[in-house]
């Protein structure tokens, strides 16, 4: 049980890092990694971010994900990705 929680934390940290890396590389957005800020993108760029994350992780976001305000934070979107990855196991 403890090992599984550690794996979950490690995976989430990796996903958070990946999101920050994508924001840096593709959108030239340099957020403070310690604060896990809101993602402030125009609609077109948000669609591109969703596409990049779906391709990277082999998941699909649905409409209810995007309706959730947590979807627009690095922490929130990483939670959704973790949930999708673990639900596929």
pLDDT(56) > 70: yes
β-strand partners of 9: none
Q: Quick: pLDDT tens for 3-37.
A: 455 456 788 999 999 999 999 999 998 888 877 67
The pTM is what?
Answer: 0.84
**Bridge partners (DSSP) listed for residue 38:** 73
Instruction: Note the pLDDT of residue 30.
Output: 86
- Between CA 21 and CA 16 the distance in angstroms is 9
**Cβ burial, residue 69 (10 Å; 0-12/13-18/19+):** exposed
Do residues 8 and 16 make contact, with C-beta atoms less than 8 angstroms apart?
no
Q: What percent of the chain has pLDDT over 90?
A: 52
pLDDT reported for residue 7: 59
pLDDT of residue 5: 52
The mean pLDDT value of the chain amounts to 86
- Best CA proximity match to 32, nearest among 23, 45, 41: 23
pLDDT over 90 at 1, yes or no: no
């Amino acid at each position: 049980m403890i090992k599984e929680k550690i794996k979950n934390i490690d995976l989430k940290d990796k996903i958070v890092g990946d999101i920050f890396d994508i924001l840096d590389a593709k959108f030239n957005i340099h957020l403070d990694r310690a604060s896990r800020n809101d993602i402030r993108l125009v609609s077109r760029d948000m669609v591109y971010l969703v596409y990049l994350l779906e391709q990277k992780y082999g998941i699909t976001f649905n409409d209810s994900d995007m309706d959730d305000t947590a979807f627009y934070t690095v922490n929130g979107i990483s939670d959704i990705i973790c949930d999708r990855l673990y639900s596929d196991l």
